Chain A
Amino acid sequence: MLIFSVFKTLTDQRVTVELKNDLSISGVLKSVDQFLNIRLDSIRVLDEARHPHMMAVKNCFIRGSVVRYVTLPAEHVDTQLLEDATRREAATQVKR
């Protein structure tokens, strides 16, 4: 839930999603769901010369399970807030 909320706060920011097939796609984050499936707008594939497959694609839906990394815009991430929220969530999950 925590990470899902973080992504929601980054809506309309440009992120780069690196997939487990080594494709990297940068785009504007339009939406995210509980599975961390991601909708991106105005996408650009890094190293487009090698990967022309998505030339005519301007927006896409990425399945959360195939994501390796997402590089986030650091200036829009409040790290103190994140750490506090993580400690709070960890505290609620002690008794499982």
Chain B
Amino acid sequence: MDPSSSIQEPFDLIRLSLSERVFVKLRGDRELTGVLHAYDGHMNLILSDVEETIMIVDVAEGAPEGQGTVNVAKRKMEMLFVRGDGVILVSPPSRT
């Protein structure tokens, strides 16, 4: 059976990503990758083996707009609950 045929609504895509590594984009210029273990209708998530990436844009004084330097901070967490109101998107693992 074509696996895509079991996807009828958006949440099915997340359901099929359970126990897989997912990419999550969050408000506040944050991104996560981690293994998805639980979610609910608010897109609250529980992930393990998480790496968080925070983008910090420093716009130097007098620099033209859009010429800021981007600093990236990374952090690892073993097991993490993510509140759904900060979630922008959840992307399943790449199949390449």
Decide if A69 touches B38 in the complex (CB within 8 Å).
Answer: no
Which secondary structure characterizes the binding site on chain A? helix
Q: Give the B interface residue count (CB, 8 A).
A: 23
Decide if A69 touches B80 in the complex (CB within 8 Å).
Answer: yes
Q: Which of A20, A65, A86 has the most chain B CB atoms closer than 10 A to its own CB? A: A86
- A and B contact pairs by CB, cutoff 8 A, 28 listed: A2-B40, A3-B38, A3-B40, A3-B44, A3-B46, A20-B28, A36-B44, A64-B83, A68-B28, A68-B82, A68-B83, A69-B82, A71-B78, A72-B79, A73-B79, A77-B79, A79-B35, A79-B37, A79-B48, A83-B18, A83-B19, A85-B38, A86-B15, A86-B37, A86-B39, A87-B15, A87-B18, A90-B15
